[in-house]
Amino acid sequence: MKNTTVKHLAIIMDGNGRWANERGLKRTKGHEAGAETIRDITTYCAKHKSIETATFYAFSTENWKRPKHEVEFLMKLLDKHLKNELKTYHEHKIRFQAIGDIGSFSKALQERIRQTQEETKTYTNLTQILALNYGGRLEITMAVNALIKDGKKVITQEDISSALQTPYENIDILIRTSGEERISNFLLWQLSYSEFYFTPTLWPDFTSVELDNILEKITKRKRRFGGL
């Protein structure tokens, strides 16, 4: 039994719409404010002594059900965000990666994603992962189908882990903002032994100070991984 060391942090960024509604603003303003929070939290993680990877749930496979105008805005915001954040990635030596089915995006957005990944692929200070058109069930299904296509007759847990888009060590902590307490089809395989923390803070109001306090609490938790 040992204390939790946070190397891989995952965040479900929830509450942009409610943040905007509480202020009498359009939901799009909440998404813009939320994008600023991503920058602040990513920069904090890049400076943290133990965090190596930060994964953010940015757009799920279910988010296509939202109004068309909001989805279109989110696509434009993502393109703008990646363009603007390239400076941050270079400054803090952050590697950008995307997981999910980006083939459903426009050709221009797909190219922006690929280009950003290419330009930052040598950085090792932090890996920032954006889950885009992502669903945990879809990721597992795609991994199994890829293994079958490769001729696998008997599939092990190790095989699936290696075939996932996120073949990293198990995630140490999942944080969800806005007070909701569910994982919403996010990283289902990787979260099997993760610590969970739910905060009522809406995502645009979430700060590095609150994250620092959460991590301080989490590191005091004892992890058993099924043992005593």
Per-residue pLDDT of 113-156, as tens digits, reads 999 999 999 999 999 999 999 999 999 999 999 999 999 999 99
Q: Is the pLDDT of residue 193 over 70?
A: yes
- 16, 21, 40, 63: the catalytic one is 63
DSSP designation for 190: T
Q: In 3-state terms, what secondary structure has residue 226?
A: coil
Which backbone phi and psi does 92 adopt, to 5 degrees?
-105, 10
At 22, is the pLDDT very low, low, confident or very high (cuts 50, 70, 90)?
very high
Label residue 218 by pLDDT band (50, 70, 90): confident
- Interval 46-60 mean pLDDT: 96
Side chain identity, residue 51? I
Residue 31: how many CB atoms within 10 A of its CB? 22
Quickly list DSSP for 65-108.
GS-HHHHHHHHHHHHHHHHHHHHHHHHHTEEEEEES-GGGS-HH
Catalytic residue among 3, 14, 159, 172: 14
Is 101 part of the annotated catalytic residue set? no
Q: Nearest to residue 61, comparing CAs of 102, 111, 33, 98? A: 102
Give percent of the chain above pLDDT 70.
94
What type of residue sits at position 186? F
Per-chain mean pLDDT for the chain: 93
Distance linking the first and last C-alpha atoms of the chain: 7
Rounded to two decimals, the pTM is: 0.93
Q: What is the pLDDT of residues 54-105, one digit of tens each?
A: 999 999 999 999 999 999 999 999 999 999 999 999 999 999 999 999 999 9
pLDDT at 226 over 80: no
Task: State the pLDDT at residue 225.
Answer: 53
Neighbours of 198 (CB within 10 A): 16
Whether 21 is catalytic is: no
pLDDT tens per residue, range 158-184: 999 999 987 656 799 999 999 999 999
How far apart are alpha carbons 166 and 131 in whole angstroms? 10
Q: How many helices (H) and strands (E) does the chain have?
A: 7, 8
